[in-house]
């Protein structure tokens, strides 16, 4: 899980995996996949492409600023991946901060 407060940049992971690009962020264990999707919907420019069941958990596929991403929750914790391991850290930070930051009151 990334460290830091809701307003500080999140510590990004740099784990490159063969079939999923770069594993760059783990959402806090208290956040479900549904909550992550709702929070991502608040980030201007995010396009949720699909959400599908997997053998264990679910897969979310989305796009942001011209890059493709996925998220999975195989063990109850949502893991975020960038399809392109060279996706700029600034874009990854925007996603991480959106997920862990405070939500806007309706």
Q: Where are the domains of the chain?
A: 15-100
Percent of the chain with pLDDT over 70: 84
* Full-model pTM: 0.82
pLDDT in tens, the chain (106 residues): 444 445 566 778 777 666 668 999 999 889 999 999 999 999 999 999 999 988 888 999 999 999 999 999 988 899 999 999 999 999 999 999 999 988 765 4
- Taking each helix axis from N to C end, the angle separating 89-100 and 33-40, rounded to the nearest 10 degrees, works out to 120
Pick the CATH number of 15-100 from 3.40.50, 3.30.160, 3.40.1350, 3.10.450: 3.30.160
Whole-number pLDDT of residue 105: 54
Distance CA 75, CA 47 (A): 25
Percent of the chain with pLDDT over 90: 65
Which parts of the chain are beta strand (E)? 15-17, 21-26, 47-53, 58-64, 67-72, 79-82
**74: which residues sit within 8 A by CB, 6+ positions away?**
54, 56, 57
């Amino acid at each position: 899980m990334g460290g830091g407060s809701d307003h500080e940049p999140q510590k990004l992971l740099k784990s490159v995996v063969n079939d999923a690009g770069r594993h760059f962020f783990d959402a806090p264990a208290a956040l479900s996949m549904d909550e992550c999707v709702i929070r991502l919907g608040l980030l201007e420019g995010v396009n949720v492409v699909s959400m599908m069941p997997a053998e264990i958990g679910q897969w979310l596929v989305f796009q942001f600023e011209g890059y493709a991403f996925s998220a999975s929750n195989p063990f109850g914790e949502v893991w975020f991946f960038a399809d392109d391991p060279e996706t700029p850290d600034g874009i990854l930070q925007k996603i991480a901060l959106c997920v862990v930051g405070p939500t806007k009151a309706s």
